[in-house]
Amino acid sequence: GDTGLPVVLGDPLDPAAIAIQAVADRLATRARGLSGRSLGISPR
């Protein structure tokens, strides 16, 4: 990262790069909308 090249691109087998990529993969496949989800509140 200090050289301007992200660790994920510069050394994709580095443990930090693997962890960052895993987080990015999970975020990319996560549903974004709240449609059909229970919000855990009840109207009065």
Instruction: Give how far Cα 10 sits from Cα of 23, 27, 32, Å.
Output: 18, 22, 30
The pLDDT tens digits of the residues spanning 1-44 come to 677 888 888 889 999 999 999 998 888 887 777 777 777 887 77
pTM for this entry: 0.58
Q: What is the pLDDT of residue 19?
A: 93
End-to-end CA distance of the chain: 52
Q: What is the pLDDT of residue 31?
A: 72
Question: What whole-number distance in Å separates Cα of residue 12 and Cα of residue 21?
Answer: 9
Q: What is the pLDDT of residue 22?
A: 92
Neighbours of 21 (CB within 10 A): 13
Q: What is the pLDDT of residue 13?
A: 92
Q: What is the pLDDT of residue 29?
A: 81
